[in-house]
Structure 1
Amino acid sequence: MDWQGQKLAEQLMQILLLIAVVVAFVVGYTTASFRTMMLIYAGGVVLTSLITVPNWPLFNRHPLKWLDPSEAEKHPKPQAVVVSSKKKFSKKLVSVLKIIVSLISLNQMTTFCY
């Protein structure tokens, strides 16, 4: 299943389940039968699964073109760069948290004295 096929399967699933919910609710409400409503909804879920889960040719219209292994070796993966700004941010965050904790404890001490 390709990317467009996944999108189509997702949209079909949402539409079919919504239709199943509406039909099940209307029939269940008019017949005043919770059992009938649940059976219709379960049938809708099964039908939706049969339509959207298998890898039908409909979902495989835009296949991906993979690189040959020799071609992939010519284009190496980019290396991850370590950013040091995290340490600065975490040090600042720790200092801010220490200040907040000290202010809270100071506030508790002053309210305790009254």
Structure 2
Amino acid sequence: MLAIFNSIPTYMDYKGQKLAEQIFQGIILISAVIGFIYGLVIEQFGWTVYIVLAGFAVSCVLTLPPWPMYRKSPLSWQPVVPESSGETNQKPQESLKKKRHK
């Protein structure tokens, strides 16, 4: 049962994150404009809030899960280089002198 959850991808690439942000902002903006105009016409502020909340819910469904359209450009990482046992990768320590102010 746990293997099913581990097989679900949970990442987005950088281009997918940018696309999700643009979709989110577009939906929120469009729903705010539509809600404002509709609320102004019928003179009910409550409908403006409902329409903006509906737009928020739609944008959450479209942008929060890692849909396949957000995973089209994965990063190609460099392969792991094994460390050799004879060499150490320590940085040389620099002697730091404190300046005395008089």
TM over 0.5: yes
Write the distance in 2 (CA, Å) between the matches of 1:52 and 1:3: 13
Write the distance in 1 (CA, Å) between the matches of 2:51 and 2:37: 10
The structure with the greater share of residues assigned to helix is 1
Identity %: 35
Write the distance in 1 (CA, Å) between the matches of 2:69 and 2:30: 21
> 5+ residue gaps in structure 1?
92-114
Displacement after TM superposition at 1:65 (Å): 1.7
Question: Which of the pair has more CA radius of gyration?
Answer: 1
Q: Which of 26, 29, 35 matches 1:18?
A: 29
> 5+ residue gaps in structure 2?
1-11
- Alpha carbon RMSD of aligned pairs, Å? 2.8
TM-score normalized by the length of structure 1: 0.60
Displacement after TM superposition at 1:64 (Å): 1.5
Closer, same or farther in 2 for the Cα pair 1:9/1:33, shift >3 Å? same
Closer, same or farther in 2 for the Cα pair 1:62/1:34, shift >3 Å? same
| Matched length | 82
TM-score normalized by the length of structure 2: 0.67
Runs of 4+ aligned residues of structure 1 deviating over 2 Å after TM superposition are 66-69, 71-74
